[in-house]
A and B are shown apart, each in its own frame.
Chain A
Amino acid sequence: MAGTGTAHLRDSDDVLMRIEDLTVEFPTSAGLVHAVSGISLDVRRGETLGLVGESGCGKSTTGRAIMQLPAPTSGRVLFEGIDLANIEGKHLREVRTQLQFIFQDPISSLNPRRKVKDIVAEPLRIWKRGTEKERQGRVTEVLDAVGLDPEVAGEKRPHQFSGGQCQRISIARSLVLEPKLLICDEPVSALDVSVQAQILNLLEDMKARYGITLIFIAHDLAVVKNISDRVAVMYLGKICEVGSPDALYSAPAHPYTAALLRSIPVPDPTVVPSSSGLLLGDLPSPIDPPAGCRFRTRCPAAQERCSLEEPQIRAVAEDHFVACHFPSIGTTAA
């Protein structure tokens, strides 16, 4: 297997969420799908962790497994020291109010038959927070915070809003219980670039205003760099590389990260697109992932060792970790 290890985890007291050796597998008629295979991650309070990778890399499954939707096959999900995988029922639901989720498609994640003020107030009603009047006040506050006019927007239904405005409503709903951690799964992928910028700016504002911590899952490397304090690159259920965005983007150590960065079309006509260094072929099946390093079948730097031995995550620079036997920076084969 490729890319396990915990060298990149931090011992700080500031860590809000720590995932250890998380594994998620789905039995299917074709065999066992290894969606996420033994990954470890942590997020400090107030930090934004970007989780980036292509379709099928397990980034969304990781986000959902943190919420125990569904619970992971094995591994620990420690939120403020509580292992979410070990608690259940009411206790789990209570803890989960501090973790909220924002989905990709803002329109289908809102109930089309309800008014916006009721959608946003629903979590407060479920948890019987405050009086009806206090709840209304809270709804007004969050709708205003996300840039919607509470008087006008509250009385409308989701279909009367554009995609970007629906995403604002989703964000308002997720903030109403004052969560500590917000998991955003591709929150801007369905939006146009001008609206995408509005939502990214809004998430930064909400983070500053409410002191929340973000896990930001996306496939767009530029978007992830813009919002993150730390980035983890995933491939086929494994972590390839973890580090600060500036280090990771300017000197990618893993061949997969480097190939991903080269694939991005640059909005500058003086940059001639080059076909060298592009990845060939498709993602291998997660039912029968390659032995050793999972990236080796498409890796330009693959050697025999990569098929025999799974690389462990190790440091190549300060706050820059990679799971590769032959990284492009730092020490060569350890």
Chain B
Amino acid sequence: MLTADTVHDGALLQVHDFRSYFDTPAGIVKAVDGVSFTLDRGDTLGIVGESGSGKTVLARSVMGLLTGKNVMRSGSARYNGIELVGASEKELRDLWGTEMAMVFQDPMTSLNPVLKTGRQITEGLRYHLQLSKSEARAQALQLLDSVGIPDPKRRISQYPHELSGGMRQRVTIAIALACGPKLLLADEPTTALDVTVQAQILDLLHQQQVERHMAMVLVTHDLGVVAGRTNHIAVMYAGQIVEYAPTTDLFANVRMPYTQALLHSIPKLAQPSHTRLQAIAGRPPDLINPPSGCRFAPRCPYVQPKCNSEMPPLQESETPGHLYRCWFPVGTEAGREALAHNTAAGMPAAVSITQILADPPGGTH
């Protein structure tokens, strides 16, 4: 049996050249295609991307939750030194819950509708920690209390449908935290919730993380959610990480045109009404036959001939730890020239981004 007690210093999670492909009748979908990152104990990594960028597949397949016969994983994902790629389900079972746990997007479908909340929380406690029924129940009550559920004694014997959406997500967080994991993967934990409840749940996750010194991977499509609550951000596009940086540096010195486009496409509260938004034309590429060059090239305002033929490597900028995948990065001489060239040629995306850069509507937020 694998144990995590053979303590390794350094990173808690090391993912290297990780790939997750799906064999489908239409061809092989390269959902995650060569992703590398490390996550230290107690840190938070935000993984940001649009639908189909591979962020959810990455989180789930790192954890070993995608077990279909058509799933092909390769590369390496080491949790505390233990290789997860190729590990058997039995080996993974010893890690799930006690070492790493997951919170899913939709609490209504991730909870079992025919079991009371108490039973769903105690299941892991009984199985992993071999607690007695009464010990597990006492522990479950304490967990419900710590995730901010009022009147835990009543809630523990209720079914999921009797709880509100926010309350249900609190229960799934209690389940994930039950056996004291060191790593929490939260996959769009607040996307199904209202904005006031979202703020409550993000606060709760942060508070639990600090108390338990737990590392967290926060997967989301919302740059606002990750901006104030992560140490690092990885931006994904078409199965690859296209920019990876310390959170403050990512926002201050965007290098990747895709990240810049994403930031400009969000309506900001500080902008006046009817501010024209910078939409990203086109749609993400087909992951069965992705472009051989840069995968963002067909939609990029900075695109040059080189981008269509050669895939840019993930390279480090002058700021240590800030990586990006671009030949003509934003904020560099090469990038400025590429944009000026495309603007002069009348490319609509380049023209509009040049206008926005010259005259930022309503400041920077």
Contact = CB atoms under 8 A, between A and B. Distances in A.
Nearest to B229: A273
Interface string B262-302: 11011111011111111111010000000000000000000
B247 A269 contact: yes
B251 A221 contact: no
A251 interface: no
Nearest to B195: A263
B261 interface: yes
A266 interface: yes
Contacts of B228: 265-266, 268-269, 271-273
Interface residues of A, number: 48
The 10 closest A-B pairs by CB, nearest first: A265-B224, A194-B280, A197-B277, A197-B279, A226-B267, A198-B279, A54-B194, A263-B199, A197-B265, A192-B50
Contacts, number: 146
18 contacts: A54-B195, A54-B196, A195-B279, A204-B276, A220-B267, A221-B195, A222-B266, A225-B267, A226-B275, A227-B273, A227-B274, A245-B272, A262-B199, A265-B225, A267-B223, A267-B365, A268-B251, A269-B227
B11 interface: no
A158 to B, nearest CB: 16
Contacts of B267: 197, 200, 220, 222-223, 225-226
Interface stretch (A75-83, A129-137, A171-179, A277-285): A277-285
A258 to B, nearest CB: 11
Q: Which residue of A226, A249, A265 has the most chain B CB atoms within 10 A of its CB atom? A: A265
Contacts of B227: 265-269, 271
Contacts of B225: 265
Given A229-B273, A246-B272, A278-B199, A193 B50 contact: yes
Contacts of B223: 267
A270 interface: yes
A228 interface: yes
B248 interface: yes
A263 B164 contact: no
A280 B165 CA distance: 14
Interface in B205-262: 206, 221-225, 227-229, 247-248, 250-251, 261-262
A265 B279 CA distance: 21
A221 B273 CA distance: 11
A222 B278 contact: no
A222 B364 contact: no
A164 B223 CA distance: 20
Given A267-B251, A279-B199, 12 more contacts: A54-B197, A192-B51, A193-B50, A196-B265, A197-B279, A201-B276, A220-B267, A265-B227, A267-B227, A267-B263, A268-B251, A269-B247
B71 to A, nearest CB: 24
B272 A267 contact: no
Nearest to A229: B273
Nearest to A191: B51
